[in-house]
Amino acid sequence: MLGPPGAGKGTQALKLAEKLGVPQISTGDLFRSNITRGTELGLEAKHYLDAGDLVPSDLTNALVEKRLDEADAADGFILDGYPRSVEQAEALTRMLGARNTKLDAVLEFRVCEEELLNRLKDRGRADDTEEVIRNRMKVYRDETAPLLEYYGDAVRTVDAVGSPDEVFARALHSLGR
Ligand code: ADP
């Protein structure tokens, strides 16, 4: 699932995971839970999340690779917030190839920037201050948006302005479900 911060990827990933009976793997949630539990990974990741910068890819890729090998991901999974750069996408392609599998689809959730800023200000997560939001938007444009080209024809674009249920219906439609 691709989309800028505030596009609603997390909400849609959960709904889709429930519908398809596969786990939702959110790198943002994994980092936040490591921070809360005070693990070594959490300590390393915290200042990147606080600044709205990407956590270095070696840490992130290792985290995802380990998660993919948990039993519940054997029959499929939804990746929310990963990959977030071409470097990560290349690593993911290798991980999936090594496991004889591939992505079925790439969903892009599209929302105009004005709507995004409104949503994020209402959400009030620790990294939702104006300056950090601005940086996360920039990181999305510079690092993540190039993935749309990397994935090319696999990308299905979903209009993410509307109620969660409306957006979910569009996402299912784009997947032919
Ligand atoms: P949002 O999409 O609203 O920005 P996320 O929970 O997906 O929220 O991400 C929050 C933060 O977690 C990011 O700003 C970044 O610091 C870190 N993060 C999440 N996923 C990745 C990733 N794939 N690579 C590097 N950092 C990540």
Residue 130 CB burial class (10 angstroms; 0-12, 13-18, ≥19): exposed
- Ligand 1, atom 2: nearest CA belongs to which residue? 5
Distance from Cα 52 to the centre of ligand 1, integer Å: 8
Q: Whose CA is nearest to atom 16 of ligand 1?
A: 49
Ligand 1 interacting residues, C-beta cut-off 6 A: 5-6, 27-28, 31, 48-49, 52-55, 60, 81-82, 84, 88, 136
Is it the case that residue 123 has pLDDT exceeding 90?
Answer: no
Whether residue 108 is predicted with pLDDT greater than 90 in this model: the reply is yes
Q: Which two tokens stand for residue 114?
A: 């004005």
Indicate if the pLDDT at residue 158 is higher than 90.
yes
Q: Which atom of ligand 1 is nearest to the CA of 81?
A: 7
Report residue 36 as tokens: 């809360």
Token match 């790439």: residue?
106
Q: Is the pLDDT of residue 114 over 90?
A: no
* Backbone torsions φ then ψ of 161, nearest 5 degrees: -100, 120
Q: Which residue has the higher pLDDT, 118 or 97?
A: 97
pLDDT at 117: 85
Which of the four pLDDT bands, split at 50, 70 and 90, describes residue 94?
Answer: very high
CA of 127 from ligand 1 middle (Å) equals 10
pLDDT at 71 exceeding the cut of 90:
yes
- Per-residue pLDDT tens digits for 34-66: 999 999 999 999 999 999 999 999 999 999 999
Ligand 1 atom index nearest CA of 27: 20
Residues of the chain with pLDDT > 70, as a percent, come to 100
Shortest-distance atom of ligand 1 to CA 125: 3
The pLDDT-based confidence of 140 (bands split at 50, 70, 90) is very high
